[in-house]
Structure 1
Amino acid sequence: MPVSHVRSLGSIINTMELEAVGVLVSGRRAFSAGGAKAKKGSQGGAADAPKASISDKEVKSTTVVGANILKDGADPKILSDSEYPDWLCHLVDKRPALSELRRKNIETLPYEDLKRFVKLDNRARIKENNSLKAKN
Structure 2
Amino acid sequence: MEFKYNILLVAICAILHQADCLECYSCNNLLEPKCGKTFELSGEEAASYVVTCQGENVACKKIESTDTHKEKMLVTRSCWNTTDDQLKPDFFECSEMGKSMACYCRGTNNGKPCNGAQPVLTYISVMMTLLSTIFYFIF
What TM-score, normalized by structure 1, do the two folds share? Answer: 0.21
Structure with more helix by fraction: 1
Structure with more strand by fraction: 2
What TM-score, normalized by structure 2, do the two folds share? Answer: 0.21
Which is higher, the Rg of structure 1 or of structure 2?
A: 1
Tell which has more relative contact order, 1 or 2 (C-alpha 8 A, sep 6+).
2
